[in-house]
Structure 1
Amino acid sequence: MASSVSWSIAAVTVLFLIMQVLAGRDFYNILGVSKSATTNQIKKAYRKLARELHPDKNRDDPEAAERFQDLGAAYEVLSDPDKRKVYDRHGEEGLSKGDMGGDPFSSFFGDFGFGFGMKEQEQEVPKGGDVIMDLDVTLEELYSGNFVEVVRYKPVAKPAKGTRKCNCRMEMVTQQLGPGRFQMMQQQVCDECPNVRFVPEEKLLEIEIESGMRDGQEYPFVAEGEPHIDGEPGDLRFKIKQIKHKKFERRGDDLYTNVTISLVDALAGFEMDIKHLDGHKVHIVRDKITWPGARMRKSNEGMPNYENNNVKGSLYITFDIDFPKGTLSDEVRADLKKLLNMESKHTVYNGLQGF
C-alpha cells in the first residue's frame, strides 16, 4: 500500500513538472513587469535588463547566455501586440513552436538524463551576422530623452520552388574494404529541405533615446540582423553618435560652454541667463571682476547620469572678454587710470614658466 502511494506521489510530481514545461516561460516575470504594462514600459525594462544581463558583462556566469536568450524571447513576444495576445491566452505553447525554439518534452526529459534515442548534445544553431549602424543623436535628445522611428527593410524567408540541401553535418561512416576489413571516415551528410527565398519587408523600429546615454553606446534589437537560411538571424545594434553641438561640449556627465561679455561687465559685474538644452534658464550672477578665461561652475546643471537620472553633472562656464577696438583719447586714458587707481605694470616672460 505504501509503495502504491509513493508511486502515485511520484507520478503527480512528474506530471506537475511536465505541465510546468508545457506552460512555457513566464515572460512578464523575466522582464519584471506586470501583465498590464504598456509597450513603452516593456521596452524600457528590456533595455535596462539587456545592459545588466548581457553575456559580455557576465563572462563568469555559465547561465548568462541562457538568461539573455530568455530575455530576448520575452521582449520579442511582449513588444509585439499580436504575439502578446496569443501568449496571454495560450502561453508560450500557443505561439509558433519553431519561433520560440524547443520541444518541451525533449527539454524536460533531457534534463533528467533520459535520451530516448535522441542525440546527447544538439548541434549548435548557426546564426546570421550582426548589423551595426550609426544613429546620429542631438545633445538635446541625450539630455531629455526621445523616441526615434527607423524604417528597417529586413530580409524575410518565403517559400520557393524546389528543394535545397540543409542541416549539413559531418558524420562518421563505415566503409567495407574487403572481407573483414573496414574503414571509418567522416562524410558530409545533408537533409533535403523546401527551398526559400529572401524578400525584403518593411518594418518600423522604435528606438528609445534614454536620458544620459553616451556617445558610442549601443542599442540592441535581438534577431533583427542578417538572416541565416538554416539558423537564427543575428542582432541589429544601433550605435549612438552624438552630433556636435553649437554651444555646449559634453565631457562625461559635465557640460562646458563659453560666454563672451563686455569689458564693462567684466569690471562692474553682471547678471544673465543661459538657455539650457531643455529650454530652462540657468541664472548667472558675477559681482566681482571677471578676467579672461575665468571659469564658473554650476552644480547639477550638467547631463543626467545614465544609470541614475536623478544625479546630474556640472555645467562649467568660461568667460571671454570683448575688448573695445579703436584708440582712447589722452583724457579718457587719464580718467581710467584715476578711476581704477592702477599704475601701468609690465612683466616680460617667455610664456613657458612652470613647464
Structure 2
Amino acid sequence: MSSTDGFRADWAQKDFYAVLGVSKDATTDAIKKAYRKLARENHPDSHPDDTAKHERFKAVAEAYDVVGDPDKRAKYDEMRRLYASGGGFPGGFGGAGFGGGGQTFNLDDLLRQQGGAGGGIGDMFGDLFGGGGGFGGGFGRGRRRATAGADVETSATIGFADALDGVTISLRLTSESACESCRGTGGKPGTKPHTCPQCDGAGYVTAGVGGAFSINETCPACGGRQMVYDDPCPTCHGTGRGSSARTISARIPAGVKDGQRIRLRGKGGPGENGGPAGDLYVTVKVQGHPVFGRKGEHLTIDVPVSFDELALGAEIKLPTLGGAPVTLKVPAGTPNGRTFRVRGKGAPGPDGSRGDLLATVEVQVPAVLNAEARAAVEAYRAAMSGTPLRTKLFDTAG
C-alpha cells in the first residue's frame, strides 16, 4: 500500500513484523528476503483463482511498504510503542489507559493536540500515513486525500501460436474518469461552490464506532471535496464522475495458458488527487488448433499410422509448430496408442526453456480395400490363424 493511501485506524493494532514472519529486530535484508519469498508464494499471477492468496499478497505488500522502508519503519515502531503504552496521549491511547474515566477521544484530535504548532506526533506520522491525512480524513482543511484508481477487468482472445510465442494486443477499455463537463467538481459549469454545511469544509465528519472510540469518515454530503454546489452538473448529476474510452497496448507473455489472468500494473482506472492508477486484469482465452493440443508446457499431436508401419517399423515425418518438420523413428512391433516424446518442440516455460512434443500413434483402418490389398490381408490372416489372441482374455474373465 502506498503511503498516499492514508492511515487506517486498524493499522495501530497491526503487527507488520508478524505478517512477514520476522522479528521486530530483523535486519532490512531479512525483511526484504521474507517479503520476496511470501510475494512469490502468494502472487495473484501464479494463483489467479485463489482469493485467500490474493488477500495474503495484499497484506504482505502492505507490511513491507512500511517496515521495508527505514524511515517509515522507525515512525511505525514509535507509533506502536505509544499505542501499546498509552504514555504519549491524554487519557492514554493504548491498553487499559485508552478512554479511561468515561471520556471520549477522537483520534484526529489526539494527534492534533500532540502536534500543536510545533509539529509532534501528528507531523511525525503525517508522511507515514498519508501526508497529514489522519486516521479517517485529515487534520487540516483544504487537504484532500489521494485515492488509488479502481482495478479494471477485461478479457482477450488470442491465437494458439500467439499464446506460445507471446503477442502484443490492443485493448479498448471503458473506465471511470472525471466528468468532462464539470471537470470532476460535480457542479454545473459556470456556477460557484460554497463551503459544505454538513462538515463545515473539513471534508470529513466524526463517527462513533463503539464505546469511547470515534474516527473521522468522509463527509457524505460533499464526498470529501469540502465544497458543494447548489446546482449539480447535469451530465454527471453531481457525482463528478464520468466514463472514458481508451485503447492501450498490452503484452501477453509467451507460454500463457487458456484462462490465465494477467495483471498489468497501472493500466486500470485513473487515481484521484494524485493517487496512482489501478491495475488491469486480463483473462486470456486461447483459441484451439486443428493439429496441436497442449498439456502444460508440452504440445500434443495425434499421428495417423498404418498397421504395417507399427508392425515392421518406420520413419515418420512430423510437423512442428512454427518450425521445421522432425523425423520420428517408430520401432518394429510398436503398439497402437504409444506416445513418443520429441524434446524441445513444445511450449515455452516460465524459465525460457521449452517443453516437449508428445506424439501419439494411432492405426488407421482403411474403409475400402482394393483387390491386391485384400489378398494381402487375407494371406496375413491365414498366416496368423494359429495365434490365439484372445485366449488370455477368456482365461482372465474366469
TM-score by length of 2: 0.50
What is the match of residue 279 of structure 1?
A: 323
Aligned pairs for 1:283-298 (under 5 A) are: 283-298=327-342
1:266-320 Cα offsets, whole Å, 9 max, x none, are 33333333222223323212242333212111122221112x11x2222211111
Contact 1:290 1:319 in 2 (8 A): no
Determine the C-alpha separation between the residues in 1 that align with 2:261 and 2:215: 46
Distance 1:250 1:192, change over 3 A: same
1:156-205 Cα offsets, whole Å, 9 max, x none, are 313512459798533269xxxxxxxxxx9989744116867555444331
Equivalent AA in structure 2 for residue 171 of structure 1: T
What is the match of residue 151 of structure 1?
A: 172
Aligned pairs for 1:173-192 (under 5 A) are: 189=219, 190=222, 191-192=226-227
Aligned pairs for 1:1-355 (under 5 A) are: 56-57=56-57, 59-60=59-60, 62-64=62-64, 113=124, 118=132, 120-121=134-135, 123=137, 126-127=147-148, 129-157=150-178, 158=180, 160=182, 161=189, 162=191, 163=193, 168-171=203-206, 189=219, 190=222, 191-192=226-227, 197-198=240-241, 200-226=243-269, 234-306=278-350, 308-309=351-352, 311-326=353-368, 332-333=376-377, 335-337=379-381, 343-347=386-390
Distance 1:280 1:64, change over 3 A: farther
Determine the C-alpha separation between the residues in 1 that align with 2:286 and 2:122: 48
Contact 1:159 1:196 in 2 (8 A): no
Contact 2:348 2:354 in 1 (8 A): yes
Structure 2: tracts of 5 or more residues without a match: 1-42, 47-53, 69-118, 138-144, 183-188, 209-213, 230-237
Contact 2:303 2:361 in 1 (8 A): yes
Determine the C-alpha separation between the residues in 2 that align with 1:51 and 1:135: 16
Distance 1:255 1:151, change over 3 A: same
CA RMSD of aligned residues (A): 4.6
Equivalent AA in structure 1 for residue 356 of structure 2: S
Determine the C-alpha separation between the residues in 2 that align with 1:290 and 1:296: 11
Determine the C-alpha separation between the residues in 2 that align with 1:344 and 1:185: 90
Structure 1: tracts of 5 or more residues without a match: 1-48, 69-107, 174-183
What is the match of residue 30 of structure 1?
A: none
Determine the C-alpha separation between the residues in 1 that align with 2:362 and 2:319: 18
Contact 1:271 1:286 in 2 (8 A): yes
Q: How many Å apart are 1:210 and its aligned residue?
A: 1.5
Secondary structure at the aligned position of 2:334 is classed as: coil
Contact 1:55 1:64 in 2 (8 A): no
Determine the C-alpha separation between the residues in 2 that align with 1:185 and 1:254: 56
Equivalent AA in structure 1 for residue 359 of structure 2: I
Secondary structure at the aligned position of 1:113 is classed as: helix
Contact 1:154 1:202 in 2 (8 A): yes
Q: How many Å apart are 1:253 and its aligned residue?
A: 1.0
Determine the C-alpha separation between the residues in 1 that align with 2:391 and 2:134: 85
Contact 1:129 1:225 in 2 (8 A): yes
Q: How many Å apart are 1:58 and its aligned residue?
A: 7.0
Distance 1:272 1:347, change over 3 A: closer
Distance 1:127 1:113, change over 3 A: closer
Aligned residues: 252
Q: Percent identity?
A: 17
What is the match of residue 109 of structure 2?
A: none
Contact 1:129 1:233 in 2 (8 A): yes
Distance 1:219 1:67, change over 3 A: farther
Distance 1:290 1:217, change over 3 A: same
What is the match of residue 94 of structure 2?
A: none
Secondary structure at the aligned position of 2:124 is classed as: coil
